[in-house]
Amino acid sequence: MLVPGYPGASDVNLAIEKNEVQCFSGTVQAFFGSEPGRTWAKSGFVRVLVQGGAKRDPRMANVPTLWELMDKNKSSEIYRRLAKILLIPDDMGRPLFGPPGMPGDRLKMLRDGFTKMMSDGELIADAKERSRHHAGDGR
């Protein structure tokens, strides 16, 4: 997410460390999946206020979800719908897309390549190992 006045994520991270930015919104995946988020989580440098998923992430078991807070405060349906729209990137993951008018043969080639990659046993094993490694060390 871009913050007005900061050209990129690394600038925002530095601003957080310099106490120029007091609140920031990002994804759980980005926070625990890269630096400085992993270090901040491990050291307690930042405090996560709320999480957007339907269930609490085990790495933040003591942090309520937005849905829990809306239930507790009896939020109206309009706020629930708005939250769903704002949080859809977490549900969608990282969509991949190409330019308008992409030739069908290129689209097919990219889809076939992606499907092949996602069914590659070595890649899946590596992803599972990385996931276990990160879950085991608090990252």
SS3 51: strand
Residues 28, 86, 33: CA angle, nearest 5 degrees: 15
Q: What are phi and psi of 51, to 5 degrees?
A: -120, 150
Give the other-Cβ count within 10 Å of 111's Cβ: 11
Q: What is the pLDDT of residue 25?
A: 82
Tens digit of pLDDT per residue, the chain (139 long)?
A: 555 778 888 888 899 999 988 888 888 888 888 899 999 999 999 999 999 888 899 999 999 999 999 999 999 999 998 888 888 766 666 667 788 899 999 999 999 998 998 888 898 888 878 766 654 444 3
**Dihedral sign, CA of 32, 45, 58, 72?**
negative
Alpha helix stretches (DSSP H) within 5-103:
9-17, 28-33, 37-43, 66-72, 77-92
In angstroms, rounded to a whole number, what is the distance separating the alpha carbons of residues 122 and 84? 35
Which residues neighbour 6 within 8 Å (Cβ) at sequence distance 6 or greater?
12, 15, 21
Report residue 48 CA to chain centroid gap. 13
Q: What is the pLDDT of residue 33?
A: 84
What residue type is assigned to position 124 of the chain?
Answer: I
Q: What is the pLDDT of residue 8?
A: 80
Q: What is the pLDDT of residue 21?
A: 86
Q: What is the pLDDT of residue 71?
A: 94
